[in-house]
Amino acid sequence: MLKKLSANAQNLREDLLEFMDKHVYPNESVFEEQLNNQESRWMIPPIIEELKEKAKAQGLWNLFLPDTEYGKGLSNFEYAHLCEIMGRSLIAPEIFNCNAPDTGNMEVLVKYGTEEQKKQWLQPLLEGKIRSVFSMTEPDVASSDATNIQSSIVRDGDHYIVNAKKWWSTGALDPRVKIAIVMGKTDPNEATYKQQSMILVPFDAPGVEVKRHLPVFGYDHAPNGHAEVHYNNVRVPASNMLLGEGRGFEIAQGRLGPGRIHHCMRAIGAAERALELMIQRANSREAFHSKLVDKETVRAEIAESRLEIEQARLLTLHAANKIDEVGAKGARKEIAMIKIAAPRVSINVIDRAIQLFGGAGVSSDFPLAEHFANARTLRLVDGPDAVHLRDIARIELKEQL
């Protein structure tokens, strides 16, 4: 049986639901209109900053951080319920300062940053004044195996020299980006999982070059976007190293565990909204002398969607609870399972909704097509399905044999 939410988490959930209804859904079209009518799509639509201030004033801010010094003191299990709600709208996470990759980067700084690093970078991120980038994946190697990463971070006196060719650096086109966390090799002769390190690179440092924008299924995801970024002989202070040389994999594991819970619960939220839209559409449209909602094939699709959503939600909440109890390392199998299950369910449900909507479903008049693109991309983010299947089988066999 699932645990009950604490009074604090339940109150935040209710406030969040109300805020979404009152401020977020009605302003999705405002966001699109402002974005499309600006001089550049890479400017921040005013409505986003307006809604951020409203959310901050209502205490719906930095909900993801588990301590009370920086966040709301919620467990992964508790925050997962809120994350699902935010996943119903593609503009929502930023409004509550709960958007990737900033969430993961803030978690890294909270866990592993020095006091100076926290003061310089964490504080403005917590305040929503700047944004950040996480540069790990590379175009020239199979980055699903992070030991392949070839970027170099070389010590030079009181500095490190960073040379890296990265892509799918989410948010890199956002004009508010001030800092990147870059993963690369500090010692290729060390043990396999001690070669990599992570370092903070100011995004305005000489040698940081945004090479090109990377759309996803034609969506530019402006004003944040995804990009290929090159770091060409970028010189940064040695004090920018995170945790120490050779600790990159350790940081990555601490970052990715909770982050996968966030991704999966947002995907479930997108599926819930798709099902809601599907039911509304079926109840309002008529074909062949009866409402769509009265047709057995449509009812079967609705039933299948509810069945899949409930399974994915329960599995993800179980994984979140296990992280709370034994840590991300102890919950590796459960995390791997949800990373496969939740995006698949989200894709299935959104696809059914698109099918029922017909031509409208693939248009920009409704959020389904963009949610579908986002859900499909999630099968690659933080590791493709094949990697997680391998991990599940390996852990299962170890437990059984």
Domain definitions of the chain by residue range: 7-113, 131-242, 249-400
Where does 20-131 have alpha helices with state H? 28-37, 46-57, 76-86, 92-95, 102-112, 115-117, 123-126
Find all residues with CB under 8 Å of 58, minimum gap 6, and list them: 15, 19
Kindly report the CATH number that applies to the domain delimited by 249-400.
1.20.140.10
Kindly report the CATH number that applies to the domain delimited by 131-242.
2.40.110.10
**b or e along 267-301 (b: 16 or more beta carbons within 10 Å of the residue's beta carbon)?**
bbbbbbbbbebbbebbeeeeeeeeebbeeeebeeb
How many residues are there in the chain? 401
Kindly report the CATH number that applies to the domain delimited by 7-113.
1.10.540.10
Residue 220 scores a pLDDT above 80: yes
Query: Residue range 228-256: average pLDDT?
Result: 94
249 half-sphere exposure, CB direction, 13 A CA radius? 16
Average pLDDT, rounded, for the chain: 96
Tens digits of residue pLDDT in 125-175: 999 999 999 999 999 999 989 999 999 999 999 999 999 999 999 999 999
Query: Residue range 180-193: average pLDDT?
Result: 97
Amino acid at 25: Y
Structure tokens at 349: 């449900």
Q: Do the two domains 131-242 and 249-400 of this chain adopt the same fold?
A: no
| Residue 270 pLDDT grade (very low, low, confident, very high; cuts 50, 70, 90) | very high
Question: Which pTM was predicted?
Answer: 0.95
Where does 182-227 have alpha helices with state H? none
Query: Residue range 76-96: average pLDDT?
Result: 98
Q: What is the pLDDT of residue 253?
A: 83
Residue 380 scores a pLDDT above 80: yes
Residue 259 scores a pLDDT above 80: yes
Residue 1 scores a pLDDT above 70: no
Strand partners, 241: 199
Residue 257 scores a pLDDT above 80: no
Residue 258 scores a pLDDT above 90: no
Q: Which helix (H) or strand (E) holds 354?
A: helix 332-357
Residue 376 scores a pLDDT above 70: yes
Closest CA to 90 of 380, 352, 369: 369
Percent residues over pLDDT 70 in the chain? 100
Q: What is the pLDDT of residue 254?
A: 80
Query: Residue range 220-224: average pLDDT?
Result: 96
Q: What is the pLDDT of residue 2?
A: 73
Question: Strand 159-170 to strand 177-185: parallel, antiparallel, or no bridges (unpaired)?
Answer: unpaired
Q: What is the pLDDT of residue 108?
A: 96
Tens digits of residue pLDDT in 324-370: 999 999 999 999 999 999 999 999 999 999 999 999 999 999 999 99
Residue 255 scores a pLDDT above 90: no
Tens digits of residue pLDDT in 101-120: 999 999 999 999 999 999 99
Q: What is the pLDDT of residue 374?
A: 97
Give ∠ CA 365-18-58 in degrees, rounded to 5: 115
